[in-house]
Amino acid sequence: MTTAETAIKRRKNPASRSIGGGIVYGLLYVVLILASVLQILPLVWLFFFSLKNSQEVFELPPFALPSKPRWENYESVWSQGNISKYFFNSVWITVVSVILTILLASLVTFAMTRMRWKLRPFVLGLFMVGMMIPVHSTLIPLFNLFQKLHLTDNQANLVLSYTAFNLPITIMILLGFYYALPREVEEAAVMDGCGVNRVFFQIVLPMTASVIVTAAIINMIYNWNEFIFVNTFISSDHLKTLTVGVQNFVGQYTTNWGAVGATLMISILPILLAFLLLSNRIVEGIAAGSVKG
pLDDT in tens, the chain (293 residues): 555 555 555 555 555 556 666 788 888 888 989 988 888 888 888 888 888 888 888 888 888 888 788 888 888 888 777 788 899 999 999 999 999 999 999 999 998 888 888 888 888 888 888 888 888 788 899 999 999 999 888 999 999 999 999 999 999 888 888 888 888 888 888 887 888 888 888 888 888 888 888 889 889 989 998 988 998 899 888 888 988 877 777 765 567 788 888 888 888 888 888 877 776 666 665 555 554 44
DSSP labels, 99-139: HHHHHHHHHHHHHHHH---TTHHHHHHHHHHGGGS-GGGGH
Q: With respect to CATH, is domain 77-291 assigned 1.10.3720.10?
A: yes
Residue 220 CB: number of other CB atoms within 10 A? 21
pTM above 0.85, yes or no: no
